Amino acid sequence: KAGVTQTPRYLIKTRGQQVTLSCSPISGHRSVSWYQQTPGQGLQFLFEYFSETQRNKGNFPGRFSGRQFSNSRSEMNVSTLELGDSALYLCASSAGTHNEQFFGPGTRLTVL
C-alpha cells in the first residue's frame, strides 16, 4: 500500500505570495489532517477533513485554509505569506477515530 504523499517537497516563496500544498492519503483513508512544524513548537494542528468536510480547526488565522476532494486528496492554501509561515507542513491520514495517523514526508516551505 502506498504511503501518504505530499507535493511539492520543497517550496520557496516571497512575502505576500500565496501557496498551495497537496496531500494524497493512503488508499481507503478518508480523514486527512494538516500540521505545521516549526523549531521548538512541535506539531501545531491546522485542520482535519473527512469526506470533504472540515471537522476540526486549529488556532491559525484565516490565511490558512484547506479543502478535501471526493477522492480524499486534500490541499491547503496559505495566502499573503509571512516570514513566520516558514515551516514544515505535514499531512496525515487515518481510517477513522482512535486510529493512528500516518504522516507524509512533509513540504518544507521557506518564505523570503
Partner 1 sequence: DQQVKQNSPSLSVQEGRISILNCDYTNSMFDYFLWYKKYPAEGPTFLISISSIKDKNEDGRFTVFLNKSAKHLSLHIVPSQPGDSAVYFCAAKTSGTYKYIFGTGTRLKVLA
> Measured from the CB atom, is 70 or 97 closer to partner 1?
97
In the complex, least distance from residue 44 CB atom to partner 1, rounded to whole angstroms: 8
CA distances from 84 to 15, 37, 78 (A): 10, 11, 12
- Of the ranges 14-22, 70-78, 79-87, 98-106, which one interacts with partner 1 (CB under 8 A)? 98-106
The grid coordinates listed for 101 are 495517523
Strands 53-57 and 42-50: antiparallel
Q: What radius of gyration do the chain's Cα atoms show?
A: 13
- Residue from 24, 101, 109, 111 that binds partner 1 (CB under 8 A)? 101
The grid coordinates listed for 28 are 481507503
CB 49 within 8 A of CB 96: no
User: Which of the residues 1 through 60 are near partner 1 (CB under 8 A)?
Assistant: 4, 31, 33, 35, 40-45, 48, 50, 55-56, 58
Query: Applying CB under 8 A, does 103 fall inside the site for partner 1?
Result: yes
> Measured from the CB atom, is 13 or 30 closer to partner 1?
30
Q: What angle do CA 77, 57, 65 make, to 5 degrees?
A: 15
Query: What is the binding site for partner 1 (CB under 8 A)?
Result: 4, 31, 33, 35, 40-45, 48, 50, 55-56, 58, 90, 92, 97-98, 100-106
